[in-house]
Chains A and B, each alone.
Chain A
């Protein structure tokens, strides 16, 4: 079994390279993705190897990046779009919601919008405004789209390839604060299916569900809690829309308590929808109401204070204490 240790950034790069090798119709489009290799270097070296026709340096217009990708998909190509930052996706929002999400339906199933929109998301890198947002909820709420997020290099490598092969449009959320963290990548065997949740750590007292950058924070919280005698089960959601209710249900029926962790504000969020479904499916197993620990209902703050906005180990443990202490 060939495994290799690499960063998430490199794993995405290798995953894109393999997808491009396997299918000549796969194209990359984005700002500064050619010679520069993207601002995060995810596409480093790909234009050199695949040429300017397959790794397209885009004029700086996000709606056009997605809008032309729609036309390329109609022509039979598989565009993989890079949005430079989460906060810059909004000019493309109209094309994503009005065309990408709906053209299959409108064309009576004749158009296949097989495309991936890569979105470096979440904060934690000390950036200025518009570079640290969590817009995944907007897309998760739109029928016709699918949304996933990776949290490890191995998932990054496989999930990007699985997303490209998928015949539906996939919003691919990459936790930019984890781009430079290393992990083992199994180059031969893909992990679970694209939308399946994975139990990252088994536990018996409380289920903590997270995605993207917060998975690692949740695992650290579980380490700390273990010292104090609390057993936390950590689940990496991976598929945000649709999400894997069966894995969540099995865990919560076992633990009876659940805390959802996200960077996005709570209102109309992935967490609120997951807790709604868990409440419906696990009502008689729950020992306490499900909680969401997440961002506050404010614009993403100046990053000198972002660690007071993003869920920390302490805030997750506070949530865990609240579901354990409920009613007492």
Chain B
């Protein structure tokens, strides 16, 4: 259907399939943990879309359909690894421990970032396509120089795969054998630009041309995403160099809340991918193989509901920042124009508060 080389350990129907190189190492409890992560992040994502529709967020970038692409790798990462995301890596951020309300600060337009990257070892999102891939390779070169057994991991989409920075990052990662894992979530659409315009070959094939392994995974199969990422990270940490993972998936929703996908793609395509839902297949596995009771899933739904309500409350409580804070953290050391700007604002009597 998609590609015979695609690594898949769990079919859309929730049945296990054998793969010559990979097998799932996770217990029933661990798989249930992944289910829980995916269900929660989907619920939080839906809440965020609603918040945007109600005028409470400036924008939202939904991840519906891509939960497995992020939760699998998110749980494969070690706490000491360092991740370099885009604006759509809510699932990765969740796994790194970033609080949902921190993720929404950008979208509430009260911050250009939202969290302390060192606290979670998860960088602030890059919005300019591809920039973060080079930053990740540089970070990985730092790991090498420190002699540490850690890895950097970075994320981008099929759209960004055409960016010079992404291709340069492949060259550098290969040349320096950097401990970095590239995860390309190929969700088929860069806003309205289809995959066919970005590449004439499967994206993971590109890695071979740069001199390191590339692998295509069923991005809607969280078990496969977990195992493939884990092995790539383990390999990077011990000097094995970079890997490109192409997570073959689909963006079920809009690019962002400002987008209208009905203008450029057909419902039938979306329907096909709805049947490949990443969450339903894990649930099916848990029910059939592990005899998980409905009450367990209900508990997760309840927990997700609580978190969503909490998120709503937290977002509504995020007031307009005091304008004077625009001068904070621009420079590390004294800068006369920052002081002048701050003084002018004070003289003008501009102060904080919601208005």
Contacts and interface: CB of A to CB of B under 8 A. Distances in A.
B131 A67 contact: yes
Contacts of B136: 71
A183 B144 CA distance: 40
Given A63-B164, A107-B113, A242-B337, A75 B138 contact: yes
Given A103-B124, A107-B116, A168-B333, A63 B145 contact: no
A61 B174 CA distance: 14
Contacts of B48: none
Contacts of A242: 335-337
Given A107-B116, A108-B116, A111-B117, A67 B135 contact: yes
Interface residues of B, number: 46
Interface stretch (B11-19, B73-81, B252-260, B324-332): B324-332
A187 interface: no
B138 A67 contact: yes
Contact of B330 (A69, A91, A143): A143
Contacts of B135: 67-68, 70-71, 74, 99
Contact of B142 (A59, A61, A76, A91): A76
Nearest to A112: B332
B31 to A, nearest CB: 34
B86 interface: no
A106 interface: yes
A102 B137 CA distance: 19
A106 B134 contact: no
B134 A105 contact: no
A59 B139 contact: no
B305 interface: no
B111 interface: yes
Contact of A67 (B146, B169, B332): B169
Contacts of A167: 332-333
B124 A71 contact: no
A302 to B, nearest CB: 29
Contacts of A146: 331, 335
A106 B124 contact: yes
B168 interface: yes
B131 A98 contact: yes
Given A72-B142, A108-B113, A61 B168 contact: yes
B264 interface: no
Given A64-B169, A64-B172, A68-B141, A104 B134 contact: no
B128 A98 contact: yes
Nearest to A99: B131
Interface string B153-193: 00000000000110011011001000000000000000000
Contacts of B329: 104-105, 107-109
Contacts of A110: 116-118
Contacts of B137: 64, 67-68, 71
A53 interface: yes
A75 B139 contact: yes
Interface string A95-139: 100110011111111111010000000000000000000000000
B45 interface: no
Contact of A59 (B114, B171, B336): B171
Contacts of B335: 146, 168, 242
Contact of B112 (A63, A102, A168): A102
A274 to B, nearest CB: 13
A79 B117 CA distance: 20
- Scoring A74, A76, A114, A143 by chain B CB atoms within 10 A of each residue's CB, the highest score goes to A74
B169 A106 contact: no
Contacts of A61: 168, 171-172
B232 to A, nearest CB: 18
A300 interface: no
Interface of A: 27, 53, 59, 61, 63-64, 66-77, 79, 91, 94-95, 98-99, 102-112, 114, 143-144, 146, 166-168, 242, 245
The 8 closest A-B pairs by CB, nearest first: A71-B138, A67-B134, A75-B142, A68-B138, A167-B332, A71-B139, A109-B329, A64-B168
Given A59-B168, A71-B141, A95-B131, 20 more contacts: A59-B175, A61-B172, A64-B168, A64-B169, A67-B135, A67-B137, A67-B169, A68-B134, A68-B135, A70-B135, A70-B138, A71-B139, A71-B140, A77-B142, A94-B128, A98-B128, A104-B332, A105-B112, A110-B118, A168-B335
Interface of B: 82, 84, 111-118, 123-124, 126, 128, 131, 133-146, 152, 164-165, 168-169, 171-172, 175, 328-333, 335-337
